[in-house]
Structure 1
Amino acid sequence: MPSVPPAVTVVGIGADGWPGLTGTARTALRAAEAVIGGPRQLALLPDTECAGERVPWPSPLRPAVPGLLARYAGRRLAVLASGDPMFYGIGRTLTEIAGAAAVQVLPHPSSTSYACARLGWPVEETEVVTLVGRPADRLAAALHDGRRVLVLSAGADTPAEVAALLTERGFGPSRLTVLEQLGGEGEVTYEGVAQDWSRAPGDPLNVIAVECRRAPDAPRLGAVPGLPDAAYENDGQLTKRHIRAATLGALAPAPGELLWDVGGGSGSIGVEWLRTHPSCRAYAVERDPERAERIGRNAARLGVPQLTVVRGAAPDALAQLPVPDAVFIGGGLTAPGLLDACWSALPVGGRLVANTVTLESEALLATWYRRHGGELVKLAVAHAVPVGSFTGWRQAMPVTQWSVTKTNLSDDL
């Protein structure tokens, strides 16, 4: 049975343009009746070689893809993309919408491969953060002393924006290397230190290499849950460090999972859930407007601006949220219907963790523990403090924590 030809061929192209393409890629572009791409990519095609209609991407891009595919259905269609279309590129969008079988991808070396080759950095040991269409705050989560990070730039102003963020986050001594027009005739590289950065904007096609160096007086933020309490702006509504670490351990985030942080407070549980893996997602539900604003600021500062803050009181504010993989309830346990709504929203295998310091809420958790099982624990933390010329212990309020995994839909009954 003959194979069905792809509906669209996606061709990766670099700064070297037409001369850098393989024979297969050139053949696909010559044969295309229409070529879709960004203005910069389309301008790299010679008129004498590619006679097909040239179609610039509209903005916003993703909502326009189904209509464009439908418009050119039955015609030989090609799409131009920068570098490797499957690495933060249009290839993902096309395969998600049209299906992998309908898309042929002809990749070009990515800017990451070029940059690592120029710098002598092993690709597998280099973290990559894209700021294309994303806020620069995302970079903050990748900043650890001694790490090498490649930043996929959004344009000519991105190097200065990255330098300012590094300086503000305590990584001013970091060395930056900006690599422009990688692989092309106009390739240029220049270096500097973040806190001293003063270069004017250069070419918009650039990648920024960051050798992370933390300033001596900057706080050290680790890669596991339990960041210092001082890392958060708060009004006292903060799950403290040791309890937070135990809570994230019970929630057990995994890549791609979604959390409801109900009664967000300062947002610390949602923030540290997101910091465990770039693909994790989280909604922080908070009824107080000032605290909701504060959650957003904490998320941005700690490198996870993708935390979605929902302003409203639970359980009503939960009604339109996507199905969670885990739910944390840090406040408002005795609100009518709250536990029921959170429990009902969980699928089989979903986890629920609830913390409380009050006797009334503890009694409620004990009831649910008897009904659904799980683990009911009391967490107590004491800190050493001066007592005259000696040292003694100051006990924080103990926290009762119930954690449970939903094992059967009949548990809702």
Structure 2
Amino acid sequence: MEFQKILEANSTLQHVVSKTPLVHADKIHKNLWIKAENLQGTGAFKLRGAYHKISQLSWEEKAKGVIAASAGNHAQGVAYACAAMNIKGTIVMPKTAPLSKIEATRSYGVEVELQGDTFNDAYAYAKNLQEITGAVFIEPFDDEAVIAGQGTIGLEIIERMSDVDTVIVPIGGGGLISGIALAIKTLKPDCRVIGVQSENAASMKNSLEQKKIITLDSVSTIADGIAVKTPGKLTYELCRQYVDEVVSVSEEEIAAAILFLLEKMKMVAEGAGATSVAAAMFHKVDLEKHKCVAVLSGGNIDVNLLSKIIDLGLMKTGRKAVINMNVVDKPGNLTRMLELISRTGANIISVNHNRIQNGILFHQCRVGVVIETNNHAHIKEVITSLKENGYMANLVDGDENFN
């Protein structure tokens, strides 16, 4: 693939996409800036590649209509382009796609079909539907025109920050990082390009490490936009050639990044979009003595999922904890235990008192307490206080082992 294609895409998209800002993320690190693609017209970068690809179709192809498969953001990009060019569109999305993305896609007037539980299931169905209908299939990532559209982000980064030396990019199928890496490495060969995947969907990372394209047995991540079992053939080759390194982040780290961006940066990020920021926050990428840009690829998060993600983020950063313990079932003992927690300055959110759970001795009851805390050290102080006073407290799903 040639760099010239990215320049051509940039010309096509000049009056279609927003040149999203670079926001200084000094609350994370003084050397970090965020490329805010969550502020794009459809809420994510996918508009760039989808619009550019569809704009390249002949009138005959446009008349046949288009079909696409997507977990959400590519769907909205294709749907937007269909509405703008008055083209019939059918989008196949997995049944597990966030409702907000499904409804946003439908709002552009395209037909939406829900098939399968994963992107790969939806993709297989869409490819079969394309053969039956004769419509044009719009690949989500493994297509030169799509990659060229995504690569315009790389041009904008260099245009705004010519001295950048590290760019951090989320990876699903690889279309975004392929385009950005080709643009960056052409204009500034010494700039590092680092990809980020969820630990639970690291298909590109594993493929590069094994030096061949591999397919994961399953993917399960809050970063639904990059939950891809198999990377593209073209994107794999471009990543192999232009990407310096691929790192991975945990679900808890992604959640913590979403929470930090929302609370401290006033920026809404979906799971996939937040992976690049998570890599910076949790030291997966060296930021010292570098000038770094993390691409926040999208902000189309399901609000029904957001509260769960916030809770996960609070637990990851030590600001919320769940403590379980068996307590002697006699008057005043529960009150005494709660007073000990209160004395540490922790705020008690809820208490679950169970006297009939299997496995509990007759003279005991099981107590679960949800508390708000300042940090991990504060949680340790609570656990220590309880144990010193005879309560065998255990932290549930915590990162620190206080036993």
**TM more than 0.5:** no
- Give the structure with higher Rg (CA): 1
Higher helix share: 2
Higher strand share: 1
TM-score by length of 2: 0.29
